[in-house]
Structure 1
């Protein structure tokens, strides 16, 4: 063993990518209505804003080992991580009776977790100084598991609080499953 390093780190950062003006409701013109004497010009809500939007925050923990053997002819790197995002910026569908043309609004709901590890093995198999021929091998393996820890709750038809499920055109987001998993018919 000619090289051995242990590494650990922690960090937190925010995501400010809230859409431009998503916190404000917007209105559009051209939605005329009959007022009894004729047609009058009107406006209607295009999008319902959310004044409570804030940054989402991601916390990440990392640990690793670097190992060099045989004068660094064989090196091994192992990393493990846990990453958790809280106050996730999520587009949440609205019911049509809320009156907006855009049937969704951005909210800070949910927690998502990513965890995994990476292994890298590098070897110098042949290193000839006389003829300049070198043969080295690199092998790596990584594994990541993504899971929705919480996506909020809502009330069902009986008034009971149940876990929220967000179904998009091709994706579904629900507690215990990966974020934005593909969704569709099995054929």
Structure 2
């Protein structure tokens, strides 16, 4: 669902030499996702172990990376708001948006104890939120009939956090290495991928961001 409000059309009195364009947008989406689940993922299958087939001999072992029989689709719910402005006959343009996505029943693989007879399991591990903001700024400092100079800059920031996990646990091992002894974990209350080494957590609630600048020259008759 998406809504648009053209402020300069709804309120013509605000349109002039300063404000020539203004629009507000709001949207809500909820989409079920199961693309990470293979077509026959929940069916029990045998796989060739290392070294087989050996000549005319075959051997099979249990699938070491199965999918849970109780797995369900994950559902991202996204709320987004945006603002688009054109000032001084579009000599200055501003496009900004803010969003929040809550994913329920996040699907991923997690490592399990080797005593179970498998190495990892694909299942719903919990819930996750992703919040972000981005803005694009455009500027035309000089414009004539034959020449136009454009400047632009953008800024983006987002934060991903695990908000809930399996009942009774606070972290899920997503990936482990023996040398060096490090692991990637989904930790309740932390960002999606938290690194841990030798029982020492390297967790961080740092936000990710990016910045970009650009400029261009346009010769209309060149």
Q: Same fold (TM over 0.5)?
A: yes
Within the candidate set 102, 108, 130, 1:114 is matched to 130
For 1:70-119, what per-residue CA distance to the aligned partner results, in whole angstroms no more than 9, with x for missing partners?
1111111110000111111121222222223xx11111121111101111
Are 1:45 and 2:62 matched, yes or no?
yes
Asked if the contact 2:47/2:60 (under 8 Å) is kept, the reply is yes
- Structure 2 length as normaliser, TM-score? 0.66
Is 1:143 the counterpart of 2:150 in the alignment?
A: no
**Counterpart selection for 2:188 from 175, 180, 183:** 175
Corresponding residue of 1:33: none
Say if 1:83 and 1:115, in contact at 8 Å, map to a contact too: yes
Q: Is the Cα–Cα contact under 8 Å of residues 26 and 49 in structure 1 kept in the other structure?
A: no
**Equivalent-residue separation in structure 1 for 2:153 and 2:100 (angstroms):** 23
How far residue 151 of structure 1 moved from its aligned partner, in angstroms, is 2.3
Of 72, 77, 89, the residue aligned with 2:90 is 72
Tell me the number of residue pairs that the alignment of Structure 1 and Structure 2 aligns: 165
Shift of residue 165 of structure 1? 2.8
Cross-structure match for 1:87: 105
CA contact (8 A) 2:171 2:185 kept: no
Q: Which runs of 5+ in 1 are unaligned?
A: 31-40, 154-160
Distance, in Å, in 2 between the alignment partners of 1:66 and 1:28 is: 54
Which TM-score applies when normalising by structure 1?
0.77
Mind listing any 5+ residue stretches in structure 2 that lack a counterpart? 1-18, 50-57, 177-182, 201-222
Runs of 4+ in 1 over 2 A off after TM superposition: 19-22, 24-30, 41-49, 169-172, 180-186
Following TM superposition, by how much is the alpha carbon of 1:54 offset from its aligned partner in structure 2, in angstroms? 2.0
